[in-house]
Amino acid sequence: MMRNDPIKHVFIWPAVLVVLAISIFPLIYSLTTSFLSYRLIPPIPPRVVWLGNYATLLQEPRFWSALFTTTLIAFIAVGLQYAIGFGVALALNARVPGERLFRVALLLPMLLAPVAVALVARMMFNPTMGPLNQFLSKFGLVNLPFLTNGHWALACIIAVEVWQWTPFVILMMLAGLQTLPEDVYEAAELENASAWQQFWGITFPMMLPISAAVVFIRLIESYKIMDTVFVMTGGGPGVDTETLTLFAYQEGFKKFNLGYTSALSFLFLIAITIIGVTYLALLRPHLEKRR
């Protein structure tokens, strides 16, 4: 039942005002700036260049490489998070021995500061003094260039992302699993369906909506990745691990090239919107079939 009472405005306006002020303001500001050639250092007066910044950016290989790197990190990391997270959630839901103890430990990483996690990762991945090096040297792999080789560095960043955010997937999937109705499984049991068949026939389709939501949230969040890369490699070696946010930061905060940075952040916004909309469009038929 919905009430109608003038007091509702008192309830909703503070939140709306704050969000409007802090999100629409900068949006308009950077949208208009993105059509200007505007630098703070050296200070030249702004000049309207319309789509000039966008054109320059689209021809800039560094932009495409940053977009590619970000996409790579996001998709691989989220795929792994989902696979591992779903698996662990299934196991926890099935009351694996010691499941209570696992829960606290498994929740931990997602609440920790990514910056601190990245620092810890730097220690773990240190090629001479790190524990991982010691472990791998037992297999004859000594002093691997974890953070100094482009491909290795990318893999390490993905590993850290997986480490930190799989708990989120576990948490959400576990909550979803606990809402599944039991009688369907009992019926499947009577039909002598194997565990494998039960998973693909019942659990997976029923978990599809929540899976879609979890993957969506993680994908969008992964595209914003910045702190982990900033601390672990700083975008290096070269620009091999530079993500979009980091690229924008370098351009904006180091070079104070305002128009260019604003255009970059808008391209970023467009990219995220395209990915989000495509994702939802691809999933829609699967989600609606179930209803």
Partner 1 sequence: MSGQGLTGLSPWSRRLVAVGVLAWCLITVFPLYWVVVTAFKTPPGVVGGPTYIPFVDFTPTLQPFIDLYQGIRGEFFRTFLNSTIVGLSAAAIATAIGAMAAYALVRFEFKVRFGAGLVFFLLALAGYLFFNATFGLTRPQALLLAFPIALVAAVIANRLPLPGPILGNEDILFWFVSQRMFPPIVTAFALYLLYSEIGRLGFQLIDSYVGLTLCYVAFSLPIVVWLMRDFFEAIPIEVEEAAMVDNVPSCRIFIGIVVPMSMNGLLATFMITLAFVWNEFLFALFLTNSRWQTLPILVAGQNSQRGDEWWAISAAALVAIVPMMIMAGLLSRMMRSGLLLGAIK
**Beta pairing partners, 36:** 48
Q: Is 143 left (phi over 0), alpha (psi -120 to 50) or beta?
A: left
- To partner 1, the closest distance from the beta carbon of 242 in angstroms equals 13
| Token pair recorded at residue 241 | 């691990």
Helix (H, G, I), strand (E, B) or coil at 1: coil
> Interface with partner 1 includes 28 (CB under 8 A)?
yes
Q: Which of residues 78-97 bind partner 1 (CB under 8 A)?
A: 84, 87-88, 90-97
Among 63, 248, 250, 259, which residue sits at the site for partner 1 (rule: CB under 8 A)?
248
**Distance in angstroms (rounded) separating the CA atoms of residues 106 and 88:** 10
Binding string to partner 1 for residues 6 to 25, with x set by CB under 8 A, is what?
A: -xx-xxx-xxx-xxxxxxxx
> Interface with partner 1 includes 103 (CB under 8 A)?
yes
Q: Are 53 and 260 in contact (CB under 8 A)?
A: yes
- How buried is 283 (Cβ within 10 angstroms: 0-12 exposed, 13-18 middle, 19+ buried)? middle
**Under 8 Å CB-to-CB from 54, ≥6 apart: which residues?**
34, 263, 266, 267
Interface region with partner 1, contact rule CB under 8 A, candidates 55-63, 72-80, 140-148, 244-252: 244-252
Give the DSSP H or E segment for 53: helix 52-58
Helix (H, G, I), strand (E, B) or coil at 255: coil
> Interface with partner 1 includes 50 (CB under 8 A)?
no
Q: Which of residues 108-127 bind partner 1 (CB under 8 A)?
A: 108-109, 111-124, 126
> Interface with partner 1 includes 212 (CB under 8 A)?
no
- To partner 1, the closest distance from the beta carbon of 61 in angstroms equals 20
> Interface with partner 1 includes 253 (CB under 8 A)?
yes
194/278 with CB nearer partner 1:
194
Q: How many CB atoms lie within 10 A of CB 216?
A: 16
Binding string to partner 1 for residues 139 to 168, with x set by CB under 8 A, is what?
A: ------------------------x--xx-
Among 185, 201, 237, 279, which residue sits at the site for partner 1 (rule: CB under 8 A)?
185
Total interface residues for partner 1 by CB under 8 A = 115
> Interface with partner 1 includes 30 (CB under 8 A)?
yes
- To partner 1, the closest distance from the beta carbon of 48 in angstroms equals 11
**Distance in angstroms (rounded) separating the CA atoms of residues 27 and 50:** 17
- To partner 1, the closest distance from the beta carbon of 286 in angstroms equals 18
